[in-house]
Amino acid sequence: MCSTGKLSERLVSFNKWETDLKYKAEDLRKFAMSLLQAIGLDIEKSKAVADILVEGDLLGHTTHGLGLLAPYLAELELGKMNKDGLPDILSDFPGAMTWDGKRLPGPWLVLRAMDIAIERAKKQGTCSIVIKRSHHIACLAAYHQRATAQGMLIVLHCSDANSSSVAPFGGLDPVFTPNPVSFGIPSSTLPIMVDVSTSATTNGMTNRLFNEKKMLPAAWVMDGQGHASIDPAVLFSEPKGTILPLGGMDSGHKGYGLSLMVEAMTGGLAGHGRADALEGWGATVFLQIIDPQAFAGLKAFQRQMDHVIERCKNSKPARQNEKVRLPGERGLQHQAQSELQGLQLYPSIMPALSSWAQKLKVEIPQVV
């Protein structure tokens, strides 16, 4: 999640926080898993959710990591996220599948779909799976390395037809969610990891900054009269404002077009979306795995990508002492450092989880 739409998250995530408390990543995984099991999720699903949430924080996506665990627990407690069962397979072709996720945990559904899609892509070059009625799937970038580590290219998009906070370019009424597009590209060195909202920022970030009475770093929202604003409060006052599409007031037609593409690849292909009754917080998912070996071959693919990567990184910096980075590179550096030295959580995360730990009688991990 690191484009214009996620820059605000980066600005917040990597600034000096009020606390420097750090935790071992593995302790946080066990902690999250214990909370999920205590509320009734089985071991396999609990592990999938815990792994993806901690991966989100390791990559620096603080609104889409463990910050989601408390609301996930609330959804499970209320029965709005289902705990038991398997997805229904609605159609099954060699290269394309459609699932009904039955509002099961999103990370578990996506990881399960990835395993099948990777296996089929190794045999036939590619496989796409769409999932309707999934619950929220957390940070899209958290899934990428599971594919790129096997030399696979992953495309992962999602939408949530149950809410709307982003207006189409030129309009005032919200139609879309931030509708992220993402892809992971293998190379002979670091993978390229792109996770981009088709809106200027995210619901998670605007909610956080509104609760903290802080401003956005740029005019990424619009008030109810159509004026660009840096104040997330315009999303909560009457007449309610909206998040701007990627490109803002000047070139938001680009984000608008991309958001329509996501709608087609998620709700359209799944046959379930904004035309249907609301069910609650969730996701409609498009997943595609592509095996370069089935095309010109992995070595040829890496040769081309390595050359492009080298030219990008050797480009003369526009700002002194700020070298050009690959998309996702900063997150991977944050991940490596946090695995070694401990993971620093956003200040609001552990207090929110502490009340659940007390309620479910789960021990809070020790600070490093």
Q: What is the pLDDT of residues 238-252, one digit of tens each?
A: 999 999 999 999 999
Surface-to-core class of residue 160, CB atoms within 10 Å of its CB (0-12 exposed, 13-18 middle, 19+ buried) = buried
pLDDT tier at 13, thresholds 50, 70, 90: very low
pLDDT tier at 321, thresholds 50, 70, 90: confident
pTM across the whole model: 0.93
Mean pLDDT of 206-232: 96
- List where CATH 3.30.1370.60 sits in the chain: 19-200+251-360
Q: According to the model, what pLDDT value does residue 49 have? A: 98
Question: For the domain with range 19-200+251-360, which CATH number is right: 3.40.50.2300, 3.30.1370.60, 3.30.230.10, 3.40.50.970?
Answer: 3.30.1370.60
User: How far is residue 135's CA from residue 78's CA, in Å, rounded to a whole number?
Assistant: 14
Q: Which residues contact 6 (CB under 8 A, 6 or more apart)?
A: 61, 195, 196, 197, 201, 202, 205
* Both tokens assigned to 172: 């005032």
Q: According to the model, what pLDDT value does residue 19 have? A: 61
Pick the range with the lowest mean pLDDT from 15-29, 72-86, 128-142, 213-227: 15-29
Surface-to-core class of residue 259, CB atoms within 10 Å of its CB (0-12 exposed, 13-18 middle, 19+ buried) = buried
Q: According to the model, what pLDDT value does residue 15 have? A: 42
* Half-sphere CA count of 7, side-chain side, radius 13 A: 13
Surface-to-core class of residue 38, CB atoms within 10 Å of its CB (0-12 exposed, 13-18 middle, 19+ buried) = middle
